[in-house]
């Protein structure tokens, strides 16, 4: 609502949001042995993600496009009415401003695009967020990001390996989970988008 300064202290006044993050929903599904929130309610999950994608697109389509650079499930808050909100623009850049210094790596490894991983910050644009959103979609479908492991291993895999297809990852997760119901197949068009 407002930004300003009182003495030497700067402030940002914003709407107070209540709810749970998409990460909370993913972890809750895992704790209940359900692998992913997608299996609980595919239509609601995909509708939620589509609305979040429209919010990211809005940021990209502004006169001065805003690139989030750190999209991940913990940065998508779902309010009590079920609407998603994109949070934490702390690493965001605009195309008109200088982004991170060349060679600087910023973001969360499991959701970083190859240009972020390799420090090619001059290549960061809307596609960087599209890649991250694809990783969020993947995790929401399968219960885990496309690559897991220690951060350096994840970064290397991002540059060198194609992730397992979401349908295969979902089935593997279901087989590992003792209480998981039979996995619904991921619709082919969703798997292709992911």
18 tagged catalytic: no
> How far is C-alpha 140 from the geometric centre of its chain's CA atoms?
9
- CA dist., res. 16 & res. 27, Å (int): 24
The residue annotated as part of the active site, out of 18, 40, 70, 88, is 70
Name the phi and psi angles at 33, rounded to 5: 75, 25
In DSSP terms, 9 is beta-bridged to: 6
In Å, how far are 36, 122, 144, 169 from 184, measured between CA atoms?
Answer: 11, 41, 16, 12
Which tokens in the block code for residue 39? 């299996």
* Active-site amino acid positions: 70
């Amino acid at each position: 609502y407002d930004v300003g300064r009182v003495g030497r202290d700067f402030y940002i006044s914003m709407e107070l949001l209540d709810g749970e993050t998409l990460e909370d929903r993913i972890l809750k599904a895992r704790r209940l042995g359900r692998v992913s929130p997608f299996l609980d309610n595919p239509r609601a999950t995909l509708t939620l993600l589509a609305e979040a994608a429209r919010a990211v697109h809005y940021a990209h389509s502004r006169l001065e496009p805003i690139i989030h650079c750190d999209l991940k499930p913990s940065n998508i808050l779902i309010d009590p009415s079920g609407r998603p909100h994109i949070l934490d623009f702390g690493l965001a850049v605009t195309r008109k401003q200088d982004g991170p210094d060349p060679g600087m790596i910023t973001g969360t490894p499991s959701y970083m695009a190859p240009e972020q991983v390799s420090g090619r910050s001059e290549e960061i644009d809307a596609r960087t967020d599209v890649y991250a959103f694809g990783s969020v979609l993947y995790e929401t479908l399968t219960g885990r990001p496309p690559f897991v492991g220690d951060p350096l291993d994840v970064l290397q895999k991002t540059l060198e390996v194609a992730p397992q297809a979401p349908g295969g990852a979902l089935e593997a997760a279901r087989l590992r989970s003792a209480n998981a119901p039979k996995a619904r197949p991921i619709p082919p068009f969703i798997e292709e988008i992911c």
